[in-house]
Amino acid sequence: MGEENNGLTMYDLANKYIDLANELSKVDQSGNVGVALRYSAARYSAFEASIRTESLADDKEQILDKYMEDYRKMLSDNIDEYIKQSAN
């Protein structure tokens, strides 16, 4: 995962998506915003994977393992952060 992109960190970019999700959640509180965000991440990740490999079919399982490992760690870290915040 690259940290820098034209001066914006990965966290800056992520916050832009979070800001949009928060705005959309004001209008739709059904849970669709979270599902749409995860779907968008999956769809973009598939595109990103397709341009980073010569054989998406051959590398599919390796890509899935790597992306799932990354997501699991990010989700776990963020859940831990929310647990810490709620303890205060």
How does pLDDT run along the chain (88 residues), one tens digit per residue? 454 457 899 999 999 999 999 999 999 999 999 999 999 999 999 999 999 999 999 999 999 999 999 999 999 999 999 999 999 8
* Sequence ranges of the domains in the chain: 1-52, 55-88
* C-alpha distances in Å from residue 3, one per residue of 10, 12, 27, 29: 5, 10, 32, 32
Cα–Cα distance measured from residue 16 to residue 22, given in angstroms and rounded to the nearest whole number: 10
Cα–Cα distance measured from residue 84 to residue 9, given in angstroms and rounded to the nearest whole number: 24
Cα–Cα distance measured from residue 86 to residue 49, given in angstroms and rounded to the nearest whole number: 36
Question: Structure pTM?
Answer: 0.81
